[in-house]
A = this chain, B = another copy of it.
Amino acid sequence: MSKKVGVVLSGCGVYDGTEVHEAVLTLLALDQRGAEVVMAAPDKEQAHVINHLTGEVDPHPRNVLVESARIARGTIKPLAELQADEIDALVFPGGFGGAKNLSDFAFQGAAMTVDPDVTRIVDAMRAAGKPIGFICITPTLAAKLIPGVTITLGCACDASEASSGLGATHVETEVHETVIDAANKVVSTSAYMLGPWVANVHKGIDKLVGELLEMA
């Protein structure tokens, strides 16, 4: 029986949504290990839209679920419909969408709030004893939602300090490494928090996916 893994997206593009490379590398690592995926994203307006060429804000709104469907090739459902009992593990690729659409960490720092459907599915996975992977900036979600969790964001930086302020234990790592919190069934890796480019990021994500499936 192949394992089924929920992949939570937050748009399509590093500056206002899911980091595209991280999402695809997550899907690659899952498929290479024979895991099935169920993709989901919040059905709501993005916090904002960034022109990825100029860095400017584009005033025309976009929807998180609709843009995430670009990465998913169309097969994706509202996060509100994702249930812990249909999956064996859950993973959050990174990108600013994790800190702008799944939470408001990019705007509020340690005073962050988390999207209610993210909170719901993380709580449900924990209650069911099922593992969760957090990539890039999304370990900040774990810091907020899982008391005393141990995570990595790679570097000692504003995000790691904020996470420590939320009660998390932060471990510095290199890009090819992961941190496992076995008690909480959480694994994290820094990906493009460190980068600098796709082959390095691939190493950490591939390791994370392997460890996530072992815990499932």
Whether a CB of chain B sits under 8 angstroms from the CB of A110 is: no
Identical copies of this chain, number: 2
CB closest residue in chain B, given A195 = B73
Q: Which of A13, A25, A53 has most B Cβ within 10 Å? A: A53
Q: What's the dominant secondary structure at chain A's contact region?
A: helix
B residues near A70, Cβ cutoff 8 Å? 12-14, 17, 20, 52
B residues near A83, Cβ cutoff 8 Å? none
Pairwise interchain contact A51-B27, C-beta atoms closer than 8 A:
no
Pairwise interchain contact B12-A198, C-beta atoms closer than 8 A:
no
CB closest residue in chain B, given A66 = B53
**Leading 10 A-B pairs by shortest Cβ distance:** A13-B70, A52-B69, A31-B199, A24-B24, A53-B69, A32-B199, A52-B70, A31-B198, A53-B66, A27-B198
